[in-house]
Structures are given as structure tokens and as C-alpha cells.
Amino acid sequence: MMEQLDAALVWFRRDLRHTDHAALYHALRGARKVWCAFVLDSDILEPLPRQDRRVAFILASLQELDAGLAGLREGSGLIVRHGRAVDEIPRLARELHVQAVYANHDDEPAALARDASVRGRLSDLGVALFTSKDCVVFERNEVLTGNDTPYGVFTPYKNAWLKKIDPFYLKAYPVARHATHLAPLPDTLTTPWPHRVPALGDIGFEPVDDLKVAAGMSGAEALLEDFLHRIDRYDETRDFPSVKGPSYLSTHLRFGTISIRHLASLAWERSQAGSRGALIWLSELIWRDFYHQILWHHPHVVGHAYKREYDRIKWAHGAKAEAQFQAWCEGRTGYPLVDAAMRQLNQTGYMHNRLRMVTASFLVKDLGIDWRRGEAYFAEKLLDFDLAANNGGWQWAASTGCDAQPYFRIFNPVSQSEKFDPEGRFIRRYVPELASLPDRAIHAPWLARPTDLAATDDWVLGRDYPKPIVQHDEARQITLERYAVVKGAKA
């Protein structure tokens, strides 16, 4: 057993909780004194818009994390720095005279490059950097094919995942048992702001009117408690955006305010007991692991198609394509379900998963616009933005990714609307200018009969709501021709 260190630092990143935390557990077991820190990394923050829900969520979660650490041992808490992480972590390690820094894995390419730089600078100080798996159940090379190669198709991966899983992999790290090793915050600790955790204005951001999601571990636990009353019907309700079907925990998974092991354990146990809803939800958690291992093994997916031949596709460009892209971003396409979904995203930072597929398919296969533009827009707007999942979802919709939707399968936005929002309740919430239309007309207003419009109080298509910016059937044929370059022949 390695000799116990005198002092260590835990570097929190996408794991903002003080329970069931791999790096914190290993540090507490490995050192007599442990401090905890989070860096508001200017390399990440500077490119963001000055009003960003994610930054607000992080700061609120940091306040709770600080209190949680103090609750584990009086006098301890969170050290928060604002600057470049590659500078701040080595500087803090030197100030605290630690022998090691502990952190959890982050397998995004930019994060790996950052960690390599930090590791080198810590090494120059004689300080080790230890990292652990924490944000997924299985990572990297833990689930491979019989030939020791990564899976590129989800169903075999899922089957192997389920075959491998057992209580050992879902066991929580007992942090509280070793909390006596948490060190009091140093007397010399100072911050340029009044409190240990800054406010948005302290770091150059503007207030957010309504975060829509309760932050921190308490916010995650409240959502989980609510979802567990509904999980057994998840398979029946998850596709309908006007129904309370999803768990709404994606933001908390992204920032680690709840443990993936805890969620997967609950889902696995209930699925073993026969819950169809729990099994389908567990599959969604497995998709998350799947996309993370794809990003690890195939980092070229950041900026390029997973199937490299799809980079040959010529996407629409020019003034018309630009105008259509802006209409898509703003929810002005003339397709009510698409517009409602985009307005939900813009207003709340959230979009229902079914609608992520519908809107992505519409951008790529109805408008012919490069999937990377949609991926970037979601990356800017989604509160739960996760590079692996966002990239995987967009490449699935664009048919450029692993185990993707076949290029010739193209969502019809009207039939999707009729199937998953049959009464138009979701549409009416986010596209109120259509609220007076009857159910049968709300999915395709341009096809409405005069009798459907009789009670709409002088409602005019093209004035009160836009006409469709593209005809789906015509766009579908153009898409088949566009993708033929990959197949080498006309579709």
C-alpha cells in the first residue's frame, strides 16, 4: 500500500457533489490533509455569452458544494479561483504544499490537453496528478468487443454493458467515512470577491432571470425523487413533450451534482424487478456511456464525421441557407413542432429529447445545412450541453455517426407532430400565435381548411405565423441526392 501523503488537493470539475465522489474518496484515503478547489476556468468562460445559464448553475452548485464540505468537517470548504486552470492549479498546489492533486477523468479532447499541461507543470513542482473514473459507469476500454476493439454499434455495446454490470461497478464511494482528513481552509485564503463563491457579476457575467432548474445536489435529489414515482411508465411517456415523462436530470448528470452510479443502480435494480420503464431509462444512461467511449476512441468526431466519407457531402450555403438557418434558430420555420422546440430551447436552455431528433433532422435533411452548425448552436444554448452526447446525437440525426439513422430515413416534421403532440398542447405553449387553431390544423397550418380558420379572429398565415420555408417532400428528394455522393450513386 502506498505511503500516506501529508497533503493533497482535490480539483473539482464536472463533479460538483461531496458524496460518492471518486477523486475526493481517493484523496481522503491517500492523504492526512485534503483541500478542495474549483477553478472558474477563463479558457472556458471567456468565449461564452455574458448571460449564460450554465455559469449561473455552476455558481449555485458551488455554493452548495462549499456548504456540503463544511458539513462533512467544520472549518473545511471549497477554494474557488478564477483564471486559467493550467495556471491556477499548479499555483494552488505550490501555495498549499501538497504532494498530489486528485481529479476525475474528463475525456473531452480539450480537457485532456489541459490535464496534460497541468500534469507537466505539477511534475515540475514534484507534485503528482492522480485521476479516476467518475462521470460514467464504464469508460474508455472497459467495454470492448471480443477482438478488443471499441464498439461502433449501440445494441451489441448495450448487451456487453449489461453482461458486465454488477453491484461492484455501482457501489458508492463512502466519502463521509474519511471526512476527518478534510483540512480547514487556510487562514491566508483570500478572494477578490466578498464570499468564497463569487456572484455572476464578480466574474463578468450578467444575472439570469430564471434558471428553470434547481441547482446543486438538493436540486438533483428533488428531481430524482419526483421521477422515481414515474419511472415505471417512462417507456410510455418519454416521447411526448407535453407530458411529464423524462427525468429532467441531464443537467445534473452533466455537472455531476448527482452520481451516475446512484442513478444506474436504481434503474438496474428496478429493471431486474421487471420495470420496463426503468429498463428503457437505463438504456438511455448506457447511450451516455456509449457516446463517451466513442469520443475517447475517435476524437476526430469533434469537427468531422465519425464515418469519414460523409465529410464529402456538400451542404447548402449562401444567402438562402443563411436565412433558413436563422429561421431555424429563432423558431420561424413554419413547421409548428420544430418552431415550438427551438423556442423552448431559446427560452429555457432545455429541449425534450424527441424534439432534439426532430429539429436536428429538419436542419440537416430538410434545409440541407451542415450538422456542425446545429451542433454548435445547441452547444451554446443547452444547459445540459455535453460534448459527447451532443456530438453523438447530431451525428445520429445527420447519418454521419456510429449506429446512426440511415441517411434515407428522414423525419417528417408534420407526422412527428401529429404522433407526439396530437392535441398540440406543447405547440400552443411555445407558439401561442397558433393557440386558436383546432387540433387538426395546428400541425400544418398551411393546409388548414377555411372552416378551421373560421374562429381564429382574423388569423392570417404569412402574417401572424410564417409559411413553411421549405416543402418537406421536395427537400427529402434533394437530401437523397445530396447523400448519394457517399454511396457513389443516385439514391
412 is catalytic: no
Dihedral angle, C-alpha 156, 390, 473, 490, nearest 10 ° = -60
281 is catalytic: no
Q: What is the mean pLDDT of the chain?
A: 95
pLDDT at 54 over 50: yes
Kindly state whether residues 344 and 458 are assigned to the same domain. Answer: yes
CA gap 163, 450 in Å, rounded: 58
Kindly state whether residues 157 and 79 are assigned to the same domain. Answer: no
Kindly state whether residues 368 and 329 are assigned to the same domain. Answer: yes
pLDDT at 490 over 60: no
Kindly state whether residues 14 and 101 are assigned to the same domain. Answer: yes
The CATH number of residue 436's host domain is: 1.10.579.10
Tell me if 181 is assigned to some domain.
no
User: 433-478: per-residue pLDDT in tens?
Assistant: 999 999 999 999 999 888 777 767 778 888 999 999 999 999 999 9
Task: Give the residue numbers spanning the domain of 245.
Answer: 138-172+218-297
Could you identify the residue written with the cell 469508460?
139
Which of 328, 394, 396, 459 does the annotation list as catalytic?
394
- From the DSSP assignment, how many helices (H) and strands (E) are in the chain? 21, 5
Provide the whole-model pTM.
0.95
Cβ-based neighbours of 450, under 8 Å, separated by 6 or more? none
34: closest CA among 194, 255, 183? Answer: 183
Kindly state whether residues 360 and 241 are assigned to the same domain. Answer: no
284 is catalytic: yes
193 is catalytic: no
- Which pLDDT band, with edges at 50, 70 and 90, does 488 fall under? low
Tell me if 193 is assigned to some domain.
no
396 is catalytic: no
> Do strands 78-83 and 5-12 pair parallel, antiparallel, or not at all (unpaired)?
unpaired
The CATH number of residue 37's host domain is: 3.40.50.620
Domain boundary among 134, 164, 198: 134
Tell me if 74 is assigned to some domain.
yes
pLDDT at 1 over 70: no
Kindly state whether residues 257 and 285 are assigned to the same domain. Answer: yes
pLDDT of residue 489: 38
- Which pLDDT band, with edges at 50, 70 and 90, does 97 fall under? very high
Which of 142, 315, 346, 418 does the annotation list as catalytic?
315
459 is catalytic: no
